[in-house]
Structures are given as C-alpha cells and as structure tokens.
Structure 1
Amino acid sequence: MKPASWPLIFVFLLLPLLTEARVRHYKFNVVQKNFTRLCSTKSIVTVNGKFPGPTLYAREGDNVVVKVVNHAQYNVTIHWHGIRQLLTAWYDGPAYITQCPIQPGQSFVYNFTIAGQRGTLLWHGHINWLRATVHGAIVILPKLGVPYPFPTPDKEAVVVLAEWWKLDTEAVINEALKSGLAPNVSDAHTINGHLGPVSGCSSARDGFTLQVDSGKTYLLRLINAALNEDLFFKIAGHRMTVVEVDASYVKPFTTDTLLITPGQTTNVLLSADQGAGRYLVTASPFVDSPLVAVDNRTGTATVQYANAVFPAALTAAAIPPQNSTPVASSFTDSLRSLNSKQYPAYVPAVVDHSLLFTVGLGVNPCPSCVNGSRVVADMNNVTFTMPTTALLQAHYFNFSGVFTEDFPGQPLIPFNYTGSGPSNPGTMNGTRLYRLPYNASVQLVLQDTGIIGPESHPVHLHGYNFFVVGRGSGNYDPTTSPSKFNLVDPVERNTMAVPGGGWIAIRFRADNPGVWFLHCHFEVHTTWGLKMAFVVDDGNGPNESLPPPPKDLPAC
C-alpha cells in the first residue's frame, strides 16, 4: 500500500512537467483487484489497480486522450464529470446515453479538450454501481503563466471522499431491485481509500495522513465520490478558505465545515497555523430526512505537523449532527461566483425556455417484490427507462423507436409539491427527452416533492455548467420567488443539491449540441429512474455542430 504522503510527492514531481498546452496521454486498465478493508478482503473493480484510481493531470487548453481497456468482468464506461465536452459529446461517457458500454476484453479511446475550465473535477464509472470503486480526480491547472486568483499555496493535495461496502455493490443493488426495497447503506466512509480508526478492526486504524509544515499554506482538492451520501468535511482546530467549486472560482470565504454532495468538488486553502500536533479530519454524512438511512460511520484521517513530538495527542473535531440543515445551508448560501474581469459570470438575463421539474420518489406495483410494490424515482412523474441503444447514436442517425421528445416541461398535474401530494404515488415509465434549439437560454427550476417524504437530491447536468440563481424552501412560486434571484454573481456549478422540501433555480445556455444527461447523483435514485436527457440541436456550420462518432465507438 502507498505511504500516505505519496499523493503530495506525486504532485510536486508532476507539476514541472506540465509546461505548456499539449496532448496528455493516459491509459486506464479496468481490472479486478483484492483490497482489505473492515477486516475482510474483497475483489473490487479498479482502474490500474488503485482505489481511488489515478489522478489525471492537465492544464487548461490541453487535449486529453485516455485509452480505457476493460479487463474486468463487467461492462464499463468512464464519465469525465464536469468536463464541458464542447463538440465532443461522444466522449462524455454515460452508458446508453452517449455511448454503448465497453465490453470485457474491449477498449475505447476518449479524446477531449479542456476549454475554459481550471480547478478540480472527477472521473468515474458511469454504469450500474461501478463508480463506488471506479473513480479518481481530475486536476486542471491554469494555463502556463496564469496565476491562481488567490494566494499561491506552498503545496497541494488531492483528497477523495468515498464509501466502502463489505459486499459487491452490484450484488447490493441487484438484491434491492429484486425486493423492491431500498438497498443496504455502505459499511464505512473512506478518505483517499483509507477508513481511519474503526472499532474492532486494527488493520484500518492507520488512515490517510497529510503532513504539514508550520506556517505553510496547502491547497486541498476535495472530491465527494460517494455513491449515496452528502458529506460534511472538517479538520479539527482549523478553518478553511473556499476558493473554487466544480472547477469554477468563487469569492473566497472562510469556514470550519464544508458540505460536499456526491459529484461535487471543492478547493480550499488550509493554513498550518496551529500548534504542533495531530488533528483529526472527518467526513460524516448529512441527511435532512428522517426517512433516509445512512452509513453513520465517520471517515477519518489526520493532519500532522512535521515538528510534532511523536506520539502527539490527536485533537478531535466536533462532528455536526447528521441533520444539521442550518450548517449545510450556511455553507451553500455563502457560495458566489468570482465574477471578475478575468473570470466573468455570464448569467443568461433573458430566458427562452422556462422549465419546472419535480424530483422525488414514488411507488409502482411489482407483484414479485416483497410488498407487492417497488420504490421508484422520477422527474415530472416520469420514471426514466434506460434504452438499449445509446441515445446520442439514435439522435445522430435518426433511429426510430429509441426515445420520444415529449418530456413534460412542467408537472402534468400541479399539486402541493411539499405536502402529502396526490393520493396515487405511482409514476409513468418512458424514455422521454426534451429538445432545445442551439444557443437557447434555459431556466430550470428543480422542485423536491413530499410524495414519499422530502429528501435532498444532488442533481448533475452533463455537458454544461449552470448558474444557481435561486434556492428556497417549500414550493417554488413563479410570481414571488424570482424577485430574490441572484443574477449578478450566482455560483457556477455542474452539480447542485435540491434541498429536501425545497427548490433550486438554475440557468444555462444550450450552446453544446448533443444528448445530455440530467440525473440525481445519489446512485440509488438514478437507478430508480430519477433522470432524463436534453437533446440540443446543432447550430450553424461545423463549429456549432456535432461531428460524426469516432470509429472505435463501442457497439451495443
């Protein structure tokens, strides 16, 4: 196993090599490997035998080429979460949306350019529940000679938060689908692949350690790669300055508690300004619904000062209660785009398409299930049916019968969304898409529903960043709610949580042709059908049109 200090050493050795914009070549071998966690050994699917997988480094403007070779027993795809994929929709990665999966023994070369983005993102498997162990960081450095818009750190480190199951995650979700009930929660949380101290398991007590020097500043690149849980992140005795989220700079602010939902990334500056010693790092779940079960094991790591006397006492952190909605809201409400001359916030001021999507859970009949019914999820009462042909291919080649373009832009039957809801909790099934003309400006309000119970939903939009112009509790009111919108410096993201019993309003411009997935980043909700896709038309000429698919695009 790697020493805990290796991630830092790797960054320092690699950064001098990234001297100019160029093609960056990577090879991802998807393989099975045995890992010992929680006093048991399990074979998991990995990339290059690592958990988390290798970090992909590049600069803004680089062309990135990744050959993915599948040596595992499962079909696989890789999604480059948050990469805009301008005119490269074929390489976005979600299975049966932009491509058919890479079958065992097969390979596929992903080829895309990083345009107008810098910061931290992640890559992960995008089929079934493989992203539980198939994930890693994407570090995008600024162009050569372009400084950070904040004090230059002395050192940097990638910190990946995730979950660990004792069982094969594919078996976990398959059993849940068979029974119609919710799947088992994970057995532990990890920080850079380590569990930290776990009672009764001595092999897990040596967690990830970040070595720091007094007086130095560290840029921590934090990623929530967990399948199903929002996580609070804390470092005992220290405050952190937030400078970037989802590869977009923000107005810096200082806090002692971060909230990171699955799929989100957050860059913070950590000043080693405390006394010599060891300080506990924690990743603990946030859940705002009493109906939702979570893994209540706190993932832990250590910040250790280089001049600490060994063995130094470990300073503990006060972990927020799981239902600390005020803490979560305070962090989210503090996020603002930098909106500077160099990094402006181009918020659409005029809206061409105004959409309202309800997001939540329902119950459909299932004679073979435990209770004669199964839990499902939906948008605007449509539980998405996954196709067997990739939607982007069907769109590009005009295949008939794969999808329809009648996804409702508004709830079919308005109701009190945050109340008890309609008496029938059932949903309709379909592969229904919503069509957008090229360059249309879109406002999308995502409204949580209380049909089963209020619950947070971290929603991710592929192919685009969006601005979160509004957020509130209760029902969105089209008459009064827009008066509180922030159209000046709203935070720019690719993943944002719809609060339990509340709503968010986002805006984006449809300037990237293709088929783009919109889904909850709680994997259980995606599996249950909380997803849809936009079809974005070509514009004028080759610079606004989707090119033909690559010759090695996998076949279904």
Structure 2
Amino acid sequence: MASLAFLLPGGFIFLSFFFVSADAATKFYQFNIQVNNVSRLCHAKPIVTVNGRFPGPTVYAREGDSVQINVTNHAQYNISIHWHGLKQFRNGWADGPAYITQCPIQSGSSYMYSFNVTGQRGTLWWHAHILWLRATVYGAIVIMPKPGTPYPFPRPASEETLVFGEWWHADVEEVVKQGNSLGLPPNMSDAHTINGKPGPLFPCSEKHTFAMEVEQGKTYLLRIINAALNDELFFAIAGHNLTVVEIDAVYTKPFMTSAILIAPGQTTNVLVHANQMPGRYFMAVRPFIDAPIPIDNKTATSIFQYKGIPNSVLPTLPHLPSPNDTTFALSYNRKLKSLNTPTFPAIVPLKVDRNLFFTVGLGMNPCPSCVNGTRLTASLNNITFVMPEIGLLEAHYFNTKGVFRTDFPDKPPTPFNYTGAPLTANLGTTKGTRLVKLAFNSTVELVIQDTNLLTVESHPFHLHGYNFFVVGTGIGNFDPNKDPAKYNLIDPPERNTVGVPTGGWTAIRFTANNPGVWFFHCHLELHTGWGLKTAFVVENGKQADQTVLPPPKDLPQC
C-alpha cells in the first residue's frame, strides 16, 4: 500500500497507492501520507505536492504487476491523474484524462485506479490531466523487468531518475486565467527545474540544487522525464557522453551522443560512464526553440559529483546545443531506432487499412473583451476540439447520444501549401466534439503535418492507450507519392509521444487493438487548452477479451 498527498490552496488531494504483485508474496509496497508546504526559488507559496515533496515520489512496479491507486480529493479543484504511457488494455477507465475517460474527481470524492502492467518495462510517468495542474502534479513510474530478465545493455552500478519541469512564481491556474481573459498566451514560466530545483545559476537558489554522487570507473543509468508543460529541452553533462538505450519505455539500439533532446511527455534512459577526472560537473537543461515565439530560455542545473570531491569545487558547464540548433535536433531524432531483436521485436504494420492526414493549425477568433480583440485558438484538420461535459468513454460505453460525433475528417477539408508563406486565416475552422472511429485490429497510418498558420512550430503529440512506430519524418509538406518510399519499416522508434518538427511532418503507424476512447493531443499544455486535440473511438472486437471492460462502481460522475 502507498499513499500520496497533494496540497493545494484551500485543501488537499490524498492519493493512496496499493501495489499487488503478480507474485503478491514477494512484492508489496506501502507509502504513508505527509503534507508539507513547498518553497522554491525564493518564493514560498502553497502548491500541489506529493508526500510533501515536489516532484512526487517515484512509483515502482514490475512487469506483470497489478496496481490499485485510490484517489481521495479534498482540494478546491477537481482533478484526475493520467498514467502516461501505460497501455491500459481494454481499461480506459484507469487512463485518467478528465472528460475523456472519466469525469474528474470532485472535492470530497474518491476514485480507485486499477490496472495491470502488461508487456511493458522501463521509464514512464504520471501527472494530473486537468487544467494546468500538472505544473507540479507529476512523478516518475519505473517498471522493472520480470525477475531473471536482464537489461539488453551492460548492467549499471546504480540508477537515478531526473524529472525536468517548469516553475511559475505565481499560482499557475491564475496565470492561465489571466492570459485567457486577455486573449494572450499565459506568462512564460520563471524557471526550469531538475527534480524540482533550478540549480545555483538561478538567483537565491544556492540551497536548491539536486546532486548525484558517482564513483570513477562506474556506469550509471539515468531515467530522464520531461514533465515541462510547454518546452522541448536539451540535456547534457559536462565532460561526459551519454548512451541512449531506451525511449518511452522501449529499448533502442544504443548510440552515443553529447546531448539529448526530449519533448514534453517523453522519457529517455541513458547510460553515463564516470570516466573523467574526479570533480564536479554540471548536468544542465535548456529549451530547444526554432520558431519566433517567446520562451523561458533559462538554464537549469544539477550536479554530477565524483565521490570524495568537496562541495567547494566549482562545477563546469556542458556545451549544450544552441537554442535554435535544428540541425542537431533532426540528427538526434534520426538516430533513434528500435532494438528489434527476437526478445524485443519491432512489429511494424506493413499493410495499412486506414490512412489519416492531420494538419496542425494555429488561429485567432474574435474576442471583443480581449486586448487585441482576438483570442488564440488551435485546430486539427480545421477543427478546434470542444471538451464534453461528461466522460467520452462513458458516453461511448452506454451509447449516450448527443455527446460526440464520429465524423472527424480523415484529411483537411481545404488542402493548401501547408508550410509555405505565413497565413493568417483560419481556413474555415469550426468547433466541435468530433472523434475518429477505428475498426478493431485495423492498421492505421497517421501523418501529422505542421502548418504555417500564424507560425510554424514544433508539436509533441501523445496518443493514449497505445505505442506507435515513427516510420517517417521530414521538413516541408508531406508528399504522399515520394515520402513513403523513405519510411523505415524495419526498426523505427516506438513511442507514445512524438515531436512533429517545426515546419515539417511525422508519420506514425499502429494497430488499433485496444478498444475504447483514447485521447490524442499536443502535449504542449498551451496548445491543448486552445483545442489542439481529438480522440480515437476504437470499436470492440468479436471476442470476449476484445471488448471494453465494464466501468468500475466508483467511477466519478460529473
């Protein structure tokens, strides 16, 4: 059993975690509730915390485990928790996005998330999935392999989890409300963090620095998570190379790099060999941004410290790629490939039953009360998604009429030169709760195309309930006659969150073998709030084990 407590202005959210192993006699966890205020960056303010800590504690499980997580909400905000990257077979009730697979847990109410960890091992994470509460409501999930199953790389001496985030001095919900009322993007974050701390380069933060101690000659596994709301991040360690061995809880062909790029929602495991002169070395993150938009460009640091070296030794900074280093970003992503061995195969769909083409668009809607008379919006295939008032999965399961439509277009209604000269028109953008219906076990190819509506920009897209293969990516407009010939159908990277490059496109493939309603959205919280999202309705199969499980009795009601 494990318990977490979230502190919010006006109340608390209590989470109790119960872990039951596939071999319950050998695996059992118990966490206890603590509630504390958290102070960071010279500003003490009440924030959402887990066990009095920010970020929340790491949740450990093993492949094959069953997990039950009871959530009791005593806060002024409604909340839901998403277990990011867990596939939740037939069990969307435990997925967590508010108004998609459940109504949020209201103040004074409880909900038990119950799910199995099946066929997955590696690094994932959990976070709030309503409003902007995931600014501080997040933590790591570490899934260990089954007993006796080794890593497909040299066993490290030990491991550490690094969770990257963003920090606002103000209440982030108030920041968002102010931006919406003005029709402007909310104020950018005041700092980036590594395990909740910005490091000594930020004013007044000398005592707020995360450090890990290492021994010369040993190799360490770093489990890295980007929990930032809106920023892709570069990460490097001064004087040390990194060997990438896993992304989004899927093993990769190892390759060495001086830095990694990680988008919001993604995880990356790297090996680092402590083979330098004993000393203190900065681990650092800063944003990657190759579009003309404002962003918090501050560098967050933590310390990679050799054993026996005193704290008085000044650390050295790594050579991070420049913030607009598109060449490095594209080159790094091209190196990511699935391991594709008999033990860990890459089962890429070769025949496609359904071809989808989604365009990403930003736009402006009239807003007489806003500063510029307009309010920013976002769309897929010219549709700005409208959140329903009840959970979509519940409406689908009980066949409730009038909640959503399943006529989301397979392609944009108005083709144009997507990445040509900047466009300011919305091209007939409409609002609606329109979903994509997929036949059970059908194979799907989805091309996500960035556009120059207002501006080109990178977009990390996350698909709930599934992993997918990233079979192709490119800059400019996708060419259906030429680009598929360049696809990697042998060992493409397998992910749950993928970055669509600025002014470019990404093609993914997956098999729709998990029935239910599954959210698909940009993982930039800013764009999600503007409507850059939809959902897939995957129909039941013919067999009893191919249908959505019945809802739990304590499913929250709206």
User: Could you say whether these structures have the same fold, taking a TM-score greater than 0.5 normalized by the shorter chain as the test?
Assistant: yes
1:419 maps to 420
Would you say the 8 A contact 2:21–2:28 is kept in 1? no
The question of 1:334 aligning with 2:322 is answered no
Letter in structure 2 aligned against 1:329 = L
Aligned equivalent of 1:260: 262
TM-superposition CA deviations, 1:148-203 (whole Å, max 9, x none): 000001101111000100011111111111111111110001101111014431x4
With over 3 angstroms needed to count, the CA separation of the structure-2 counterparts of 1:312 and 1:210, relative to structure 1, is same
| 2:251 is aligned with 1:238 | no
The residue number in structure 2 matching 1:46 is 49
Q: Does residue 138 of structure 2 align to residue 135 of structure 1? A: yes
Q: Give the CA deviation at 1:241.
A: 0.5
Corresponding residue of 1:281: 283
Q: Which residue matches 2:183?
A: 180
Asked whether the 8 Å contact 2:423–2:452 carries over to 1, the reply is: no
Q: Would you say the 8 A contact 2:21–2:66 is kept in 1?
A: no
- The one-letter code of the counterpart of 2:259 is T
- Aligned-partner residue type, residue 242 of structure 1: V
Aligned to 2:46, what secondary structure does the other structure show? Answer: strand
CA distance in 2, matches of 1:335, 1:319: 19
Partner of 1:393: 394
- Does 1:496 find its partner at 2:498? yes
Give the whole-Å Cα distance in 1 for the aligned partners of 2:164 and 2:224: 7
Report the equivalent of 1:56. 59
Q: Secondary structure at the match of 2:173?
A: helix
Q: Distance in 2 between matches of 1:531 and 1:329?
A: 25
Is 2:154 the partner of 1:151?
yes
User: In structure 2, what is the Cα distance between the partners aligned to 1:504 and 1:321?
Assistant: 23
Aligned residue for 1:473?
A: 475
Q: Cα deviations across residues 34-87 of structure 1 (Å, max 9, x unaligned)?
A: 322221111111233221011110111111111112122211100000000011
CA distance in 2: counterparts of 1:310 and 1:157, whole angstroms: 20
Equivalent residues in 2 for 1:114-133 (5 A)? Answer: 114-133=117-136
Which residue of structure 2 aligns with residue 4 of structure 1? Answer: none
Amino acid at match of 1:126: H
CA displacement at 1:208 relative to structure 2 = 0.2
Is residue 532 of structure 1 aligned with residue 534 of structure 2? Answer: yes
User: Kindly tell me: are residues 106 and 333 of structure 1, through their superposed partners in 2, closer, same or farther at Cα, counting changes over 3 Å?
Assistant: same
- Matched with 2:110 is 107
User: Cα 1:21–1:411, aligned 2, differ >3 Å: closer, same or farther?
Assistant: farther
Cα 1:427–1:146 change in 2 (3 A) is same
For 1:19 and 1:544, locate their aligned partners in 2 and report how far apart those are by CA, in whole Å: 24
Displacement of 1:507 in angstroms is 0.0
Q: Is the 8 A contact 1:210 1:302 kept in 2?
A: yes
Contact 2:358–2:449 (Cα < 8 Å) also in 1: yes
Residue from 154, 160, 163 that aligns with 1:160? 163
Provide the aligned length of Structure 1 versus Structure 2. Answer: 537
1:402, 1:452 → 2: CA distance?
31
Q: Deviations over 1:305-327 (max 9, x none)?
A: 00325522312212322111111
SS of the equivalent of 1:46 reads coil
C-alpha displacement of 1:33: 4.7
How large is the RMSD of aligned CA atoms in angstroms?
1.7
- How far apart, CA to CA, are the structure 2 residues paired with 1:539 and 1:25? 36
| Residue of structure 1 equivalent to 2:95 | 92
Contact 1:474 1:502 in 2 (8 A): yes
Other-structure match for 2:251: 249
CA contact (8 A) 1:32 1:72 kept: no
* CA distance in structure 2 between the partners assigned to 1:423 and 1:57 by the alignment: 48
User: Per the alignment, do residues 44 and 309 of structure 1 end up closer, same or farther by CA in structure 2, a change over 3 Å counting?
Assistant: closer
Change (3 A) 1:180 1:115: same
**Structure 1 residues 19 and 182, CA, compared in 2 at 3 Å: closer, same or farther?**
closer
Alpha-carbon distance in 1 for matches of 2:391, 2:216: 53
Amino acid at match of 1:342: T
**1:373 equivalent in structure 2:** 374
In structure 2, distance between residues paired with 1:19 and 1:67: 17
- Taking the aligned partners of 2:163 and 2:555, their CA distance within structure 1 comes to 30
Q: Deviations over 1:82-131 (max 9, x none)?
A: 00001111100000000000111211111111111110000000000000
Whether the 8 Å contact between 1:24 and 1:62 is mirrored in structure 2 is no
User: Given the alignment, which residue of 207, 214, 223 partners 1:221?
Assistant: 223
Q: Distance in 2 between matches of 1:28 and 1:412?
A: 53
In the alignment, does 2:274 pair up with 1:272? yes
Change in CA separation of 1:310 and 1:169 when aligned onto 2, cut-off 3 Å: closer
State percent identity of aligned pairs: 57
CA–CA distance in structure 2, aligned partners of residues 273 and 222 of structure 1: 21
Instruction: Choose 65-74 or 293-302, whichever is displaced more.
Output: 65-74
1:455 Cα deviation after fit: 0.1
In the alignment, the residues of structure 1 paired with residue 29 and residue 449 of structure 2 have an alpha-carbon distance, to the nearest angstrom, of 41
Deviations 1:328-374 (A, max 9, x none): 11111100000000000000000000000001311111122111111
TM-score, with structure 1 as normaliser:
0.94
Q: 1-side partners of 2:96 and 2:35: how far apart?
A: 20
1-structure distance, mates of 2:480, 2:507? 11
Partner of 1:450: 452
Written as runs of structure 1 = structure 2, the 5 A alignment for 1:77-88 is: 77-88=80-91
In the other structure, the counterpart of 1:297 is 298
State the Cα deviation string for residues 447-493 of structure 1 (Å, max 9, x = none): 00101110000000000000000000000000001010000000000
The worse-fitting range, judged by mean Cα deviation, of 17-26 and 485-494 is 17-26
Counterpart residue type for residue 550 of structure 2: P
CA spacing shift, 1:310–1:519, aligned 2, 3 Å: closer
AA matched with 1:504: T
Unaligned runs of 5+ residues in structure 2 are 1-18
For 2:234, the aligned partner's letter is: F
Question: CA 1:218–1:414 in 2, change beyond 3 Å: closer, same or farther?
Answer: same
Q: State the partner residue of 2:200.
A: 197
Q: Which residue does the alignment assign to 1:408?
A: 409
Q: Give the Cα separation in 1 of the matches to 2:32 and 2:387.
A: 26
* 2:359 alignment counterpart: 358
Per-residue displacement from partner, 1:517-556 (whole Å, max 9, x unpaired)? Answer: 0000000000000000000000012210001100000010
Is the CA contact (8 Å cut-off) linking 2:20 and 2:67 kept in structure 1? no
- Would you say 1:554 and 2:556 are equivalent positions? yes
